[in-house]
């Protein structure tokens, strides 16, 4: 996972918002060539996300590593994320992938107790949730993670941006 996280630094550009703060993240973005300014939050529950959206702040890149799966209110988190994302901005994400078969059944079985203990939901279909929130997933890759935890063996790495509306090619306006 560290290698995947480091690989994201090649895709970050401009003004960057990292949803899943740790000191390690700050040092990664400080070394990224195309990142002019990095703001690192203490997870999706950090009230600064809503404050940044309310203040009209805009970011060229928003990064989420296992943060969307941890959001207590994913719809609200994605609304705030869309508000802070610049018109030509990108969302870079690494999130657990919902699975099928035996790993999928195990994933669905462990989700309720895991959510109760940590707030984390590994069974979310993050690409579908991004689309519902008005974002288009333009690149996605599935990775197998070597772990004994079957419900975490697949992670999704992807890029999303504002969904374009037919006609003028601009992102949809925020609802009033």
Dump pLDDT digits (tens) for 71-113. Answer: 889 999 999 999 999 999 999 999 988 777 887 788 788 878 7
User: Tokens 């799966």, residue?
Assistant: 69
Local confidence band at 23 (pLDDT 50, 70, 90 cut-offs)? low
Top pLDDT among 171 and 63 is at 63
Q: What was the pLDDT predicted at 26?
A: 60
Local confidence band at 161 (pLDDT 50, 70, 90 cut-offs)? very high
The helix (H) or strand (E) run that includes residue 26 is: helix 23-31
For residue 104 the two structure tokens come to 């999928």
**In whole angstroms, what is the distance from residue 60 CA to residue 88 CA?**
7
pLDDT at 167 over 60: no
The helix (H) or strand (E) run that includes residue 52 is: helix 48-54
**In whole angstroms, what is the distance from residue 170 CA to residue 37 CA?**
25
pLDDT at 136 over 90: yes
How far, CA to CA in Å, does 158 sit from each of 95, 155, 166? 9, 10, 23
Q: What was the pLDDT predicted at 62?
A: 94
* Fold (CATH) for 2-162: Rossmann fold (3.40.50)
pLDDT > 70: percent of the chain = 79
pTM score, two decimals?
0.80
Give domain limits for the chain: 2-162
Cα–chain center distance at 64: 3
Contacts of 166 by beta carbon, 8 Å cutoff, 6+ apart = none
Local confidence band at 173 (pLDDT 50, 70, 90 cut-offs)? low
Q: What was the pLDDT predicted at 146?
A: 78
Closest CA to 37 of 12, 56, 54, 55: 12
User: Tokens 């996300």, residue?
Assistant: 49
For residue 166 the two structure tokens come to 């037919």
Q: What was the pLDDT predicted at 40?
A: 83
């Amino acid at each position: 996972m560290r290698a995947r996280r480091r690989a994201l630094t090649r895709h970050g550009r401009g003004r960057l918002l990292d949803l899943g703060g740790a000191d390690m993240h700050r040092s990664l973005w400080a070394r990224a060539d195309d990142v002019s300014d990095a703001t690192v939050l203490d997870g999706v529950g950090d009230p600064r996300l809503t404050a940044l959206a309310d203040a009209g702040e805009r970011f060229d890149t928003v990064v989420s590593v296992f943060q969307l799966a941890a959001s207590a209110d994913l719809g609200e988190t994605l609304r705030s994320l869309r508000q802070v994302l610049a018109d030509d901005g990108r969302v870079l994400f690494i999130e657990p992938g919902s699975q099928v078969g035996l790993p999928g059944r195990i994933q669905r079985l462990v989700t309720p107790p895991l959510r109760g203990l940590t707030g984390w939901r590994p069974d979310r279909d993050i690409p579908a949730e991004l689309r519902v929130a008005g974002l288009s997933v333009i690149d996605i890759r599935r990775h197998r993670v070597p772990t004994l935890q079957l419900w975490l063996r697949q992670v999704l790495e992807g890029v999303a941006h504002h969904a374009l509306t037919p006609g003028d090619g601009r992102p949809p306006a925020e609802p009033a």
